[in-house]
Chains A and B, each alone.
Chain A
Amino acid sequence: MKEYKLLSARFGRSDGHKLAVYEQEGGYQALRKVLGGMDAAAVRETVKASGLRGRGGAGFPTGVKWGFVPQGAEKVYFFVNADESEPGTFKDRFLLDYDPHQTLEGTIISCFAVQAHLAFIYIRGEFGWLIDRVQAAVDEAYRAGYLGKDILGSGFDLDVIVHKGAGAYICGEETGLINSVEGRKGQPNIKPPFPAVAGYLGQPTIVNNVESVASVPWIINNGPEAYKAIGTEKSPGTKLFSVSGPVRNPGVYEVPLGIPFREFFQDYLGGMADGEELKAVIVGGSSVPVLPAAEIMNVNLDYESLQQAGTMLGSGGMIVIPESCDMVELIQVLMHFYYDESCGQCTPCREGTGWLHKLVKKLRGGEGTAADLELLEHVCGGMAGLTICPLADAAVMPMRSFLGKFRPEFEALIQETATTGPRTRWPRGEQE
């Protein structure tokens, strides 16, 4: 198995956060190349030609997104989305913890590409220690002349503000994120207008995920062709997968897109931990449809293959579910999450997530009937695609897929609890 270290060269090290170490290993050379002779359009074209797709979940091509900023816009803002809150996802945390300068260099280059002079790095509030780490890197970069006025004598100015979130999953949605920095509730806006046209304070604003931004220096240094040589035609490059659940080696892995799941599971994750058997995998963070073991084993890990298999690459937050887990119990945990995190602005989501949670709870409480399974489907139908942002869909996708792929477990639960009473015990823990 070939190792790829485009993004993860300093993962696991105790010195990767230091500017001197990053510079020794080729850091800030891409920025020198950009400021030493490329114009903004050339940088945008390079990233567009690389085929880099947004790594936050949606997979929209980064270079194309940059191109949506109106020509000649006077004030442009750039946001690095480090609000990593999708259950199962912890890759951006690794990027910022072990290698903050890589993301910072990518930020400076990205800002140059869209001619932004102020960038926000929005880090979720629960990553308190990480905020200190990134702030320290920003301070170092200012002292070294990589930030501030006239960067490296190029005439390009850039300031960076590290902004601390305060506990709201919805702020990962880009308009929610922008509203949050404006000092408001993190409720998403109707699009269009898209942020690239009217975002922060009504000005053109680009919001990119940490991993997308961190990929930029490598693409500048090595060229778009080298990037496209990795991965598949429509999913170029490498991707970080953060893997949780009882596998032998959970953690964050950088792999070329298109790698077969079977190979990834066996060679990187070492298969299941002792005594555990694979039941299902949620491949791209909790909001994407679950795939049973038999289905995931034959899928390749890239945008198109996963879509064909009925799920999504999402954030790459891979949750491995063992045979010993009760799927109704797990979906109750997830429905609680979406109910808790709905921003409350759209009725289908505010009410729908509550209904889904209540119904699943009712099933486990021993009061469910077959009609409740139909009602769950019905509620999902009243939510999907009917809201301002995708949070409603993010709840519906796991709900529908759990029900669709593991319906016998739901039916058995209804039968069982009709005679034995509520199932209040969490099999992997204690009383509810």
Chain B
Amino acid sequence: MNKPVPDQAPQKPSEATAARIDELAARYPNPASALMPSIWAIMDELGYVPETGVDLLTEKLGVTRARVYEVLSFYTMYRTEPQAEYVLQVCHNISCHIMGARGIIAHLEKKLGIRLGESTPDGKFALEGVECLGACGMGPCLQLGKHLYEHLTPAKVDDLLESLRRGEVPRADTDRELEA
């Protein structure tokens, strides 16, 4: 989950994350190949990659700063700024569109009082439109963290927002019941 917008000094990846990057660099055939998973290691801890993270990546993997920024800016899931606590990413591609994604986006805009692409002033919610999430037969859908909420209706969106406002993340559709 993304961390709330912090007021404090810039964050720094921990020793544990640095150690994780060493492990990844040893695991891949060459250290540069571990760049994407190493960025993920920093994202998992901080929710974004600060300058200090870029320094750590260049130092551990022997890649240039240009290369790190190139990769950070190419892939849409990587972030270089602190994010809202809950980033709601609604698919607006063709199948979800046919099934009513625009209506879901409009409903979210109304409920959150923000437009697509904005965050609430308290740093709690951000609303984004994204391309296909691979849930086409279960649309409309949205992504929150590792999971997808599918078959969205305005009522289901209301329940989701209510839970998140209480700080509870409800069980997602992709988090299905599994036999142990």
Chain A: residues with CB nearer than 8 A to chain B?
14-15, 17-18, 84-90, 93, 97, 118, 124-130, 132, 161, 163-169, 180-186, 200-201, 242-246, 250-252, 282, 286, 317, 319, 321-322, 325, 329-330, 333-334, 337, 340-341, 343, 426, 428-432
Specify which of A164, A200, A242, A337 is in contact with B131 (CB 8 Å cutoff).
Answer: A337
Name the residue of chain A whose CB is nearest to the CB of B133.
A126
Binding site for A on B (CB under 8 A): 27-30, 32-37, 39-40, 61, 63, 67, 70-71, 74-78, 92-95, 97-106, 130-139, 143, 145-148, 172, 174-179
Q: Which residues of B contact A184 (CB under 8 A)?
A: 67, 70-71
- Chain A nearest CB from B53 CB (Å) reads 14
Query: With a CB–CB cut-off of 8 A, which chain B residues contact A282?
Result: 94
Q: Are A90 and B176 in contact (CB under 8 A)?
A: no
Name the contact of B99 in the complex, choosing from A161, A245, A252 (C-beta under 8 A): A245
Identify which of A14, A88, A252 contacts B94 (C-beta below 8 A): A88
| Contact of A88 with B36 in the complex, beta carbons under 8 Å | no
Residues of B within 8 A of A164 (CB): 36-37, 40
Q: Is the CB of B40 within 8 A of A330?
A: no
Q: How far is the CB of A55 from chain B (nearest CB, A)?
A: 15
* B133/A185 in contact, CB under 8 A: no
Specify which of A87, A166, A201, A317 is in contact with B39 (CB 8 Å cutoff): A166
24 A-B pairs with C-beta separation under 8 A: A17-B178, A84-B134, A88-B95, A90-B135, A90-B136, A127-B134, A128-B145, A128-B147, A129-B148, A164-B37, A167-B77, A181-B36, A183-B71, A185-B70, A244-B95, A244-B137, A286-B93, A317-B136, A330-B94, A333-B92, A426-B102, A430-B105, A430-B106, A431-B106
Q: Could you tell me the distance between the alpha carbons of A125 and B139 in the complex, rounded to whole angstroms?
A: 19
Cβ distance A146 to chain B, nearest Cβ, rounded Å = 19
Check B94–A286 contact: CB distance below 8 A: yes
A129 → B minimal CB distance (Å): 5
Counting chain B CB atoms within 10 Å of each CB, the highest count among A132, A286, A333 belongs to: A333
Contact B101 A18 (CB under 8 A): no
**How many Å lie between the Cα of A337 and that of B172 in the bound state?**
26
**CB-defined contacts of B132 to chain A, threshold 8 Å:** 85-89, 169, 286, 337
Question: Out of B33, B76, B103, B135, which one reaches A181, CB within 8 Å?
Answer: B33
Contacts of A325 in B (CB 8 A): 98
Q: Which residue of A lies closest to B172 (CB)?
A: A129
Report the minimum CB–CB distance from B142 to chain A (whole Å).
Answer: 11
Q: With contacts A88-B94, A164-B37 known, is A169 near B131, CB below 8 A?
A: yes
Q: How far, in angstroms, from A89 to B135 measured CA to CA in the complex?
A: 8
User: Within the assembled complex, what's the spacing in Å between the Cα atoms of A337 and B94?
Assistant: 9
**Given A167-B77, A431-B106 in contact, is the A244-B147 Cβ separation under 8 Å?**
no
CB <8 Å contact, A183 and B137: no
Residue pair B137, A242 in contact (C-beta under 8 Å): yes
Q: Are A93 and B131 in contact (CB under 8 A)?
A: no
Residues from chain A with a CB closer than 8 A to the CB of B133 are: 126
| B63 and A183 within 8 A (CB) | yes
With the chains together, A200 CA to B28 CA distance in Å? 12
Nearest CB of B to A314, in Å? 13
> Do residues B74 and A429 form an inter-chain contact, with CB atoms below 8 A?
no
- In the bound complex, residues from chain A placing their C-beta under 8 Å from that of B143 are 126
User: Does A90 lie within 8 Å of B78, measured CB to CB?
Assistant: no
Q: Which residues of A contact B138 (CB under 8 A)?
A: 90, 250
Cα–Cα, bound, A62→B136 (Å): 27
Q: Compute how far the CA of A330 lies from the CA of B177 in the bound complex, rounded to whole angstroms.
A: 35
Partner of B146 from A18, A128, A321 at Cβ < 8 Å: A128
Q: Which B residues are CB-close (under 8 A) to A334?
A: 93-94
Nearest residue in B to A428 (C-beta to C-beta)?
Answer: B100
Known pairs A182-B33, A430-B102 / 6 extra A-B pairs, C-beta < 8 Å: A125-B77, A126-B148, A128-B147, A426-B97, A428-B100, A429-B100
- Please determine whether A183 and B95 come into contact, CB atoms closer than 8 angstroms: no
> 3 tightest A-B contacts by CB?
A429-B102, A128-B146, A183-B35
Contacts of B174 in A (CB 8 A): 97, 129-130
Complex: chain A residue closest to B101, CB-CB: A429
